[in-house]
């Protein structure tokens, strides 16, 4: 071991002769006793050559200074002597006394012992004593001895405090093992299972109760809900839930869900918009067909309507939550505070034909009348008046649907949208012989009337005819309005107290209203609620959503009972007697008087439906004819009554049973009122009903753009790919609204191709997700199989029929000047607006000397562009490949060759996947062979964005047609910000169909418009700022109410419920009234940006890594109220980060520690949007280097004294 002096093993002759030794093992490259060491001990870890302050300057090389030998009689250094540079011992576990083989055996201690330090005793072959290092730092070099490796280590003086070190202090810290504090953090980190787990059943029952999030099935007591009118709908969604659900939707052809919707909503389209984060586009689609889209999203019995027809019912995961998606999109639009406007294509009101100033009256401000008035106003009618009996508007939506299902502000929002179009509402005026009748309307010059008053009177059983609220008896018509007035802010100016409901409540009925009464009774303080009905469970008329809510709130169900007698005591109800009912085989119902049931009760609520029984109303409707149900006779197709100028809809017609059906009645009536009025003025309307869409100022935003002298109607076009397989497909795309299209790439006839199959497959980048929404595709399809003549003639036809749309001919040739000039002239002669030179097809064509073979060499690209520039006068663009090292050099060559711009980028060459048997997919022929194909879709968007930004930065102002993962207005805006001028789309159409263009255009208009509204500056595009929520519903901040944080499961969930219940009661006692609701109108305070304004906006933020500041650091902050305690942040921080998150074993609440470096992995894997946010670090960031930088210099073998530096010279760790 020449040049590397090591301690002999304990028990060896040398050891016995010389006793314990103090030895030095020098690092590699350090000379000891004038000889270079021949051994190769472990190389010490080296520090980065960069620090937060810039490049690290290494100290000059140093060598170890040998110490003089000591005699055999000289004692070892005693504890308490100055710390010294010491060797690693030949074993592990050797302590201060020197017993055993231990890493870290030392014969030095801290300074300050009594008397002079003893001199080391001489040894057989010693070294001169080295200079002692500072007492605050000790270092042991790595060494190799007998196959064992000893790691370098630091030992602070604190470990030697007291003059003598114990064994644990003497042990060297192992850098490759977690420290004790990190081990405690890792306590709950997953570990691979090596054995079966064992825990008793009784213990598991305790565990289950602790972690339970749903209701305990053994718990029968009702939850305290007094004065709690918070949203209880299961369908409510936040942004995260809405996006996941929308992505799951199949967006079916001829969608059955739309056929099952009474108002004919284009459900496929609005869910597509939600999936693309175009919430305005979704709301526009909804309100276009349903002016009460928010109300219906909240209360629609979707399980019996649209959801009932969902094709995903045939799959394991089940149907889409359509109502929740509808509610989410319309609520986001509501938060935008943007007004409705008239159809922009209509002339100003003063220039409309006379018929549109005809006076129209509507009775009742409920869903049917609001719908009818909205559509009439959209058609252009300017004199529309609604007469409402009550002092509030909204009908049953306001008065009889509880706040926890339909809040007042939702209905008021839709009423305000209607009023934006000029509809007038007069409250306190009813349809009655004492006020307004059809006859008086006629006399006042009204040309048409709509009756939408509903059924205002309760259907009361005769046994309750003499009972009042003082006895404890309510009808639904009495009870629900009382509850609404006290819980719906804005319904009335004053604050009405909740009905005082205590004890046991019996609700009679099995419809939606009965179940609303039951849950509302709990909110009024009822201890127990029984829902009693005449028939069985299978005959419950209420929708499943309502029944499930009542069941969840612990209401009890009693079927097959019919009330017979009410018992009173002291003027109050004390019990109700019932008889049993039964259905015979013929379907007839019988009541058995000999089978009775007596139920004690304090309050009875009758919900047996509604009727029209007020004679003054009937008389006011004269001369209308009535049917056998005592309702007006109405044509169900036109909603016209026996009087041609009078129409009716909603409950009063007897056909509609739900809010959404009433809305459709009003919608249906509006068209035929329009048709009737026009006929009275000698005008006609089209045979097929065509009602206007919903419009706002967003729809007026101009998204046209100019590039290379060409005017594009909008920046979205079809790429030269599968959506442009034929000219007829391009025609349909233009009809749908696409701004431009490229033909499928075509060649001269001598280069014609024939494709193989299969050739286009789904990507594996989405994991096991099947159906639409694929993040990538791979294709081995070649260019068009159609001839150049076909495409040239098609271009001529398309330009003739769509002069405003841009048609770009995509062409390809081999590296032949004659071929390029011939084909480009042919394409120009066809009338194409521009050419695209396909120099980038990544498969197949390159083997023929075309496509990629021409596009990877700047010289070839430059020459081809020069040839085409000589041949044509129209603009042309070179389509670039991403399969190069430097795409900018290719773009620069195209520009130098005379190209007017470039397309960036084509598909990325790849192999999508192999099956378990090793065969590829796609596999062609019986030999199952394949080739590398082109990967497209959102998976390559990062590559395309890099390409576009790189070109835009290098060649400012050079036109770029972007392609590669554009699947929404939001992603399209990213490319515009990156420097592109127009956007080519392919994979998104493969995922869906041509109609996505409507979503793209409305989405881009909305994104531009919202940039001009100061009040929405904290929104991210169309995504509002996230409030603390669980299951999409706002949650109170418990920490502010009680001073500590609680998760939402097990005993903590029960505590939360109790705290919320107590807080609700306090609010009830303190609440003296509601502040009036004021609708906000957000108006642009700065110019709405154009497409030109946003092109290249992001380039200012891009640069080299060295330009980034390492002084402005961030750390993670977790919102415990939103946290669902999954621990994903904790796990990724442990196994991929810095072990900076603690995870409480009881509450599973994560806590970020001071070790957080702001890497943002936790935020990236968190399943809840904005549950984790990155906030500015308030303290300086000091990286943990592992070993001090100066020690790394020493260990790297540099010449010098070999003395550890003073602690003041070592950067803090």
Residue 401, CA distances (Å) to 340, 483, 1045 in order: 26, 10, 34
Q: Helix or strand or coil: residue 840?
A: coil
Residue 492 reports pLDDT greater than 80: no
In whole angstroms, what is the distance from residue 107 CA to residue 120 CA?
9
Residue 453: per-residue pLDDT: 96
**Pairing label, strands 148-150, 143-145:** antiparallel
Residue 1178: per-residue pLDDT: 93
In whole angstroms, what is the distance from residue 276 CA to residue 243 CA?
8
Residue 835 tokens, joined: 């050419």
pLDDT tier at 131 (50, 70, 90 boundaries)? low
R_g (Cα) of the chain, nearest Å: 40
Structural element, H or E, at residue 100: none
Residue 1183 tokens, joined: 């990286």
**Pairing label, strands 960-963, 710-712:** unpaired
**Residue 500 β-bridge partners:** none
For residue range 567-621, what is the model confidence (pLDDT) as tens digits? 999 999 999 999 999 999 998 999 999 999 999 999 999 999 999 999 999 999 9
For residue range 406-458, what is the model confidence (pLDDT) as tens digits? 999 999 999 999 999 999 999 999 999 999 999 999 999 999 999 999 999 99
Q: Are the CB atoms for 707 and 982 separated by under 8 Å? A: yes
**DSSP symbols for 2-71:** TT---PPPTTSHHHHHH-S-----PPTT--BTTB-----PPPPP---SEETTEEPPPPPP--PPP-----
Residue 77: per-residue pLDDT: 44
**DSSP symbols for 785-817:** SS-HHHHHHHHHHHHHH-TTSEEEEEE---S-H
Q: Helix or strand or coil: residue 711?
A: strand
Average pLDDT, integer, range 158-183: 67
Residue 19 reports pLDDT greater than 70: no
In whole angstroms, what is the distance from residue 396 CA to residue 477 CA?
10
Average pLDDT, integer, range 1101-1113: 96
In terms of Cα–Cα distance, which of 164, 18, 34, 11 is closest to 91? 11
What is the DSSP secondary structure assignment for residue 188, as one 8-state letter? G
In whole angstroms, what is the distance from residue 835 CA to residue 901 CA?
10
Residue 219: per-residue pLDDT: 65
Average pLDDT, integer, range 861-880: 98
Residue 654 reports pLDDT greater than 90: yes
Q: Are the CB atoms for 958 and 901 separated by under 8 Å? A: yes
Report the length, in residues, of the chain. Answer: 1213
Q: Are the CB atoms for 75 and 118 separated by under 8 Å? A: yes
157 vs 665, which has greater pLDDT? 665
**DSSP symbols for 232-249:** --TT---HHHHHHHHHH-
Peptide linkage before 875 cis (omega within 30 of 0): no
The dihedral region occupied by 959, where left means phi > 0, alpha psi between -120 and 50, and beta the remainder, is beta
**Three-state helix/strand/coil letters over 272-301:** HHHHCCCHHHHHHHHHHHCCCHHHHHHHCC
Q: Are the CB atoms for 1123 and 1150 separated by under 8 Å? A: yes
- 91-105, 176-190, 257-271, 856-870: lowest mean pLDDT where? 91-105
In whole angstroms, what is the distance from residue 103 CA to residue 94 CA?
6
1024 vs 1191, which has greater pLDDT? 1024
Candidate list 249, 841, 854, 986, residue with the active-site label: 841
User: Considering the chain, what is the average pLDDT of its residues?
Assistant: 87
pLDDT tier at 6 (50, 70, 90 boundaries)? very low
Residue 1073: per-residue pLDDT: 56
Q: Are the CB atoms for 35 and 26 separated by under 8 Å? A: no
Which residue is it, tokens 């701004």? 739
In whole angstroms, what is the distance from residue 682 CA to residue 906 CA?
59
For residue range 993-1032, what is the model confidence (pLDDT) as tens digits? 999 999 999 999 999 999 999 999 999 999 999 999 999 9
pLDDT tier at 42 (50, 70, 90 boundaries)? very low
In whole angstroms, what is the distance from residue 874 CA to residue 887 CA?
24
Q: Say what percent of the chain tops pLDDT 90.
A: 76
φ, ψ (nearest 5 deg) of residue 581: -115, 160
Residue 1128 reports pLDDT greater than 90: yes
What is the DSSP secondary structure assignment for residue 1209, as one 8-state letter? G
No. of helices (H) and no. of strands (E), the chain: 35, 41
Q: Is 1129 a catalytic residue?
A: no
Residue 1195 reports pLDDT greater than 80: no
> Which residues lie closer than 8 Å to 430 by C-beta, 6 or more apart?
363, 387, 389, 436, 617
Average pLDDT, integer, range 537-555: 91
The dihedral region occupied by 765, where left means phi > 0, alpha psi between -120 and 50, and beta the remainder, is alpha
For residue range 48-87, what is the model confidence (pLDDT) as tens digits? 334 444 444 444 544 444 455 544 444 444 444 444 333 3
């Amino acid at each position: 071991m020449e040049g590397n002096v090591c301690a002999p093993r304990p028990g060896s002759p040398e050891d016995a002769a010389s006793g314990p030794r103090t030895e030095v093992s020098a690092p590699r490259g350090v000379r000891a006793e004038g000889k270079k060491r021949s051994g190769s001990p472990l190389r010490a870890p080296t520090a980065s050559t960069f620090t937060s302050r810039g490049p690290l300057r290494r100290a000059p090389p140093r060598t170890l200074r040998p110490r003089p030998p000591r005699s055999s009689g000289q004692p070892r250094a005693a504890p308490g002597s100055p710390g010294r540079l010491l060797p690693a011992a030949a074993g592990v576990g050797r302590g201060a006394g020197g017993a055993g083989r231990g890493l870290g055996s030392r014969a030095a201690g801290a300074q300050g012992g009594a008397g002079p330090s003893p001199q080391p005793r001489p040894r057989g072959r010693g070294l001169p004593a080295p200079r002692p290092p500072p007492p605050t730092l000790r270092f042991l070099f790595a060494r190799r001895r007998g196959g064992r490796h000893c790691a370098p280590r630091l030992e602070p003086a604190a470990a030697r405090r007291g003059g003598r070190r114990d064994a644990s202090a003497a042990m060297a810290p192992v850098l490759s093992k977690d420290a004790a504090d990190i081990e405690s953090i890792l306590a709950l980190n997953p570990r691979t299972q090596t054995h079966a787990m064992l825990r008793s059943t009784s213990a598991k029952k305790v565990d289950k109760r602790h972690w339970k999030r749903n209701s305990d099935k053994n718990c029968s007591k009702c939850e305290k809900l007094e004065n709690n009118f918070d949203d209880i709908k299961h369908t409510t969604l936040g942004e995260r839930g809405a996006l996941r659900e929308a992505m799951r939707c199949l967006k079916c052809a001829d969608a059955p869900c739309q056929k099952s919707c009474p108002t004919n909503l284009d459900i496929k389209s609005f869910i597509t918009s939600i999936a693309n984060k175009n919430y305005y586009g979704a709301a526009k689609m909804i309100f276009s067909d349903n002016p009460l889209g928010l109300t219906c999203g909240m209360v629609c019995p979707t399980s019996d309507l649209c959801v009932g027809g969902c094709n995903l019912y045939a799959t394991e995961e089940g149907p889409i939550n359509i109502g929740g998606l509808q509610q989410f999109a319309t609520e986001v639009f509501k938060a935008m505070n943007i007004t409705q406007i008239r159809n922009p294509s209509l002339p100003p009101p003063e220039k409309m034909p006379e018929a549109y100033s005809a006076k129209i009256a509507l009775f009742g401000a409920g869903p049917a009348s609001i719908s009818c008035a909205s559509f009439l106003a959209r058609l252009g009618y300017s004199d529309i008046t609604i007469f409402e009996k009550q002092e509030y508007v909204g009908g049953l939506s306001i008065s009889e649907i509880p706040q926890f299902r339909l809040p007042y502000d939702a209905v008021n929002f839709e009423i305000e949208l209607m009023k934006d179009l000029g509809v007038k509402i007069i409250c306190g005026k009813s349809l009655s012989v004492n006020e307004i009748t059809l006859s008086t309307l006629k006399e006042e010059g009204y040309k048409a009337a709509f009756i939408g008053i509903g059924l205002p009177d309760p259907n009361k059983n005769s046994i309750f005819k003499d009972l009042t609220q003082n006895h404890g008896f309510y009808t639904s018509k009495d009870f629900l309005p009382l509850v609404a007035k006290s819980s719906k802010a804005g319904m009335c100016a004053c604050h009405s107290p909740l009905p005082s409901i205590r004890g046991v409540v019996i609700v009679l009925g099995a419809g939606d209203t009965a179940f609303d009464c039951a849950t509302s009774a709990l909110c009024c303080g009822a201890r127990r609620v029984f829902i009693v009905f005449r028939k069985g469970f299978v005959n419950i008329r209420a929708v499943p959503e309502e029944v499930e809510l009542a069941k969840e709130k612990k209401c009890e169900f009693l079927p097959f009972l019919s009330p017979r007698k009410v018992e009173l005591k002291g003027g109050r109800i004390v019990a109700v007697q019932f008889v049993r009912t039964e259905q015979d085989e013929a379907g007839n119902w019988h009541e058995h008087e000999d089978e009775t049931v007596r139920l004690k009760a304090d309050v009875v609520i009758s919900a047996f439906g509604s009727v029209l029984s007020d004679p003054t109303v009937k008389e006011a409707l004269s001369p209308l004819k009535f049917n056998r149900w005592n309702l007006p006779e109405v044509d169900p197709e036109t909603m016209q009554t026996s009087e041609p100028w009078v129409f009716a809809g909603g409950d009063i017609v007897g056909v509609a049973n739900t809010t959404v059906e009433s809305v459709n009645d009003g919608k249906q009536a509006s068209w035929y009122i329009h048709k009737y009025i026009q006929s009275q003025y000698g005008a006609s309307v089209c045979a097929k009903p065509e009602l206007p869409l919903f419009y706002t100022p967003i729809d007026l935003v101009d998204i046209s753009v100019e590039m290379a002298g060409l005017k594009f109607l909008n920046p979205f076009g079809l790429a030269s790919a599968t959506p442009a397989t034929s000219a007829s497909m391009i025609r349909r795309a233009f009809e749908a609204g696409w701004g431009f299209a490229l033909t499928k790439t075509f060649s001269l006839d001598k280069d014609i191709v024939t494709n193989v199959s299969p050739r286009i497959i789904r990507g594996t980048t989405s994991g096991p997700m099947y159906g639409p929404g694929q993040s990538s595709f791979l294709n081995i399809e070649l260019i068009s199989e159609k001839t150049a003549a076909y495409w040239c003639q098609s271009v001529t036809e398309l330009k003739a029929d769509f002069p405003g749309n841009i048609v770009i001919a995509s062409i390809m040739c081999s590296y032949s000047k004659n071929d390029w000039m011939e084909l480009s002239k042919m394409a120009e002669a066809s009338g194409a607006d521009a050419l695209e030179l396909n120099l980038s097809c990544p498969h197949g064509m390159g083997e023929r000397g075309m496509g990629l073979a021409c596009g990877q060499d700047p010289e070839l690209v430059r020459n081809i562009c020069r040839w085409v520039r000589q041949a044509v006068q129209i603009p042309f663009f070179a389509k670039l490949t991403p399969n190069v090292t430097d795409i900018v050099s290719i773009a620069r060559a195209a520009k130098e060759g005379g190209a007017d711009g470039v397309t960036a980028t084509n598909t990325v060459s790849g192999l999508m996947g192999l099956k378990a048997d090793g065969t590829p997919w796609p596999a062609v022929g019986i030999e199952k062979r394949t080739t590398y194909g082109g990967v497209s879709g959102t998976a390559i968007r990062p590559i395309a964005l890099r390409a576009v930004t790189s070109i835009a930065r290098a060649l400012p102002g050079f036109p770029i047609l972007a392609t590669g993962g554009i699947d929404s207005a939001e992603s399209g805006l990213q490319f515009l910000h990156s420097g592109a001028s127009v956007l080519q789309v392919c994979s998104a159409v493969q995922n869906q169909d041509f109609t996505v263009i409507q979503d793209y255009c409305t989405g881009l208009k909305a994104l531009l418009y919202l940039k001009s509204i100061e009040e929405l500056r904290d929104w991210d595009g169309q995504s509002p700022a996230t409030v603390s929520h669980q299951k999409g519903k706002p949650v109170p901040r418990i920490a502010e109410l009680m001073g500590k944080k609680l998760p939402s499961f097990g005993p903590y969930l029960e505590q939360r419920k109790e705290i919320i219940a107590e807080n609700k009661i306090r609010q009830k006692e303190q609440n003296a009234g509601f502040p009036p609701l004021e609708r906000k109108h957000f108006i642009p305070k700065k110019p709405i940006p154009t497409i030109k304004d946003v092109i290249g906006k992001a380039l200012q933020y891009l640069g080299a890594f060295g330009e980034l500041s390492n002084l402005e650091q961030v750390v993670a902050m977790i919102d415990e109220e939103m946290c669902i305690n999954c621990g994903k942040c904790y796990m990724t921080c442990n196994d991929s980060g810095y072990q900076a998150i603690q995870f409480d074993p009881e509450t599973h609440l994560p806590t970020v520690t001071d070790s957080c470096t702001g890497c943002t992995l936790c935020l990236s894997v968190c399943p809840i949007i904005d549950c984790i946010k990155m906030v500015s670090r308030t303290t300086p960031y000091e990286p943990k280097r592992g070993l001090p930088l100066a020690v790394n210099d020493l260990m790297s073998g540099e010449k010098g004294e070999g003395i550890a530096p003073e602690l003041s010279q070592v950067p803090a760790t």
